[in-house]
Amino acid sequence: MQADPTQVAAYERIELALGDITREHVDAIVNAANSALRGGGGVDGAIHRAGGPEIMAECRKIGYCAPGEAVITAAGKLPARFVIHAVGPVWQGGGADEELLLASCHERALELAREHGCRTVAFPAISTGAYGYPARLAAPVALAATNDALIRLPRIEKVRFVFVDEEMRGVFEQALALLEKSA
């Protein structure tokens, strides 16, 4: 019997895993998207390649998503039901509201997940690749924003951050340990 998610501390509903986000069997996969929603490299390109042209067709209809925001599409051939395209900030040294925008895109992604009945969500490390956000600074922001959103959204049972390498997972593990201590 599974525990009632409303009775579980929010940070306990966050998992960190190594793997391929395009193979996650969750309700929604979050894509580290660009504002034009046109696909790209890294996670974005992998999701579009694995999901097929249906995702891009829906993205073209939407057209644009501002940094700090998120939009949702079907998941095409992915094992998830939805792809949530979250646009993180490009790192500009920390003085251009990067922290606020990174937190916002995580929160908005989870709000969209809830609005669409999702209980499980997989995230990449948004903005830490081509957008240059230092992982050691991004991890605590991403995890705190996710934790805060989970407090408000108890029907979301599990958020899994999926990383392609152990180094990134380690950075997020350290940030999650600090979050747990502060709770």
Active-site residues: which are they?
Answer: 44
Reference 123, options 174, 70, 57; nearest CA is: 70
CA distances from 53 to 8, 39, 43, 59, 78 (A): 38, 11, 16, 10, 11
In angstroms, the CA 8 to CA 166 distance is 27
Reference 175, options 145, 150, 130; nearest CA is: 145
In angstroms, the CA 32 to CA 42 distance is 9
